[in-house]
Amino acid sequence: MKIKNFIITFVSAIALLLSTSTISFAKVVGDKIVLGAAVSLTGKYSSNGVHTQNGYNIAVERINSMGGVKVDGKSYKFEIIYYDDESNSGRAAQLAERLIKQDGVQYMLGPYSSGLTKAMAPVTEKYQVPMVEANGASRSLFTKGYKYLFAVLAPANLYLDVAIDTAVEKNGGKPVRIAMAFEQDAFSQDVRLGIVEAAKRTGSKIIIDDKLPKELNDMAATLSKVKATKPDVLVVSGHTKGALTAIRQISEMKVDVPMLAMTHCDAAKLSKQHGKASEYALCASQWHKSLSYRDNYFGGGMEYAADFKKMFDYDPPYQSAESSAALLVFKDAFERANSFDTKKVRDALAATEMQTFYGNIKFAPGGQNISKPMVLFQVICNDDGSKCENKVVAPLKWASAELVHPIPKWSDR
């Protein structure tokens, strides 16, 4: 019995030794900088999780093939350890812990969605591991005082306030009447706050303010109210399900509004699924390939879109573009820090001020990117609705087409 106990103790001691010794390899192995990422490869976010992963991969490939990251006169290559977080926030937090403690990762890339980023941020913060994330826009991520969290995207409250400004402008500078329907989740409610602020700023009035239950896929009641009250703008945000439901029911119920602004059109493949019914919808987007930003790695948006399509065989949604930008930010920070010390890298990240093909990047103290505005595109279709395109219409600086306003009535379409 004693011998058995001794053997068990001995074996577990060795196992413990082995497991702790793996910690020492880590952040930088040979000429590789190892980044960790938990993305949703299965579960409900798996489509966007894959867009995120593809965005990371194309950037890693590009940076490595163009000489890698130069730190202290030596050239390093990026490598990413991926785990599948199963679209589950509990799992995402566990994986962050595992990446840091077991795999010894010292630099993290973000997961997909605000919810999962929210689950991982406390962990990376605890271990003081810098995380550059590209897919968590919820404002609450940036008000917690996190020091190691950096987001290359504009926060959720800025998604649609451009739409209100545009509506006011089209109304001759006079305040407008706003109807809005938002799903009850962190992201959509942040978008709502942005609209509430924009309404206050412009003196506009909110006449319908519906909060859609998460499980709901019927907006008929909200749309009936819109029909009865005739607002100037209708704003809808409820992820892909909300976008698809809204377009379906607006077209079926023949709801006429002068302006319809939404989120998640890209991710919902709105124009592909609804064709001409989705025409004239205004969509908030973090990025569009026609924008004129440039960098040395991808060139401009058009080149990025072409290279991405060659590699993955589909057009890049903005979720991929912003993910690619996260790696450009990391590369820049490593080179400016000229060190692998996490504190120095963190400080370099905080001081980032650069332009990428995806947009300008400069972080506020809260970690959000403050130098890249959102763009609005409008879905414009050809006559028979067989081909629809997204045309950037606001802000005016990047507009590639003129905004169609007001939206033609259903009886004339």
Partner 1 sequence: MDFLIFQAPMLMVQASIDGILLGILFALIAYGMALQWGVMNIINIAQGELVIMGGYIAYFMYLSGIHPAFGVIVSPIIMYFVGVGMYKLVINKVVDRDLFISILATFGISILAQQLMNFAFGADVVVAQSNFGTTMLFDGMVTIPNAKIFSGLVCIIAAIILVIYMKKSKLGRAIRATAQNARAAKILGVDTEKVYASTFGINAALCGIAGACIAITFTLHPYTGLPYTVRSFMIVIIAGLGNLPAVAISGMGLGVFEEWADYLIGTEFRIAAVFSLLVIILVYRRFKLSRKREYLK
**Is position 212 an interface residue for partner 1 (rule: CB under 8 A)?**
yes
Segment interacting with partner 1, rule: CB under 8 A, options 63-71, 227-235, 279-287, 308-316:
227-235
**CB 87 → partner 1: shortest distance, Å?**
8
Closest to 261 (Cα-Cα) out of 224, 225, 220, 233:
233
Name which position in 77, 170, 177, 225 contacts partner 1 (CB under 8 A).
Answer: 225
Residue closer to partner 1 (CB basis): 139 or 239: 239
**Is position 240 an interface residue for partner 1 (rule: CB under 8 A)?**
yes
**Is position 379 an interface residue for partner 1 (rule: CB under 8 A)?**
no
**Is position 222 an interface residue for partner 1 (rule: CB under 8 A)?**
yes
Residue closer to partner 1 (CB basis): 79 or 252: 252
Residue closer to partner 1 (CB basis): 47 or 338: 47
**Cβ-based neighbours of 227, under 8 Å, separated by 6 or more:** 253, 255, 256
**Is position 397 an interface residue for partner 1 (rule: CB under 8 A)?**
no
**CB 311 → partner 1: shortest distance, Å?**
20
The footprint of partner 1 on this chain (CB under 8 A) covers a number of residues equal to 42
Name which position in 32, 47, 61, 140 contacts partner 1 (CB under 8 A).
Answer: 47
Name which position in 79, 218, 341, 402 contacts partner 1 (CB under 8 A).
Answer: 218
**Is position 90 an interface residue for partner 1 (rule: CB under 8 A)?**
no
Residue closer to partner 1 (CB basis): 15 or 221: 221
**CB 331 → partner 1: shortest distance, Å?**
30
Name which position in 94, 140, 273, 360 contacts partner 1 (CB under 8 A).
Answer: 273
**Is position 111 an interface residue for partner 1 (rule: CB under 8 A)?**
no
Name which position in 45, 304, 308, 358 contacts partner 1 (CB under 8 A).
Answer: 45
Residue closer to partner 1 (CB basis): 196 or 268: 268
Q: Which chain residues interact with partner 1 by CB under 8 A? A: 42-47, 87, 181, 184, 207-208, 210-213, 215-218, 220-222, 224-225, 227-229, 239-241, 244-245, 248-249, 252-254, 268-269, 273-275
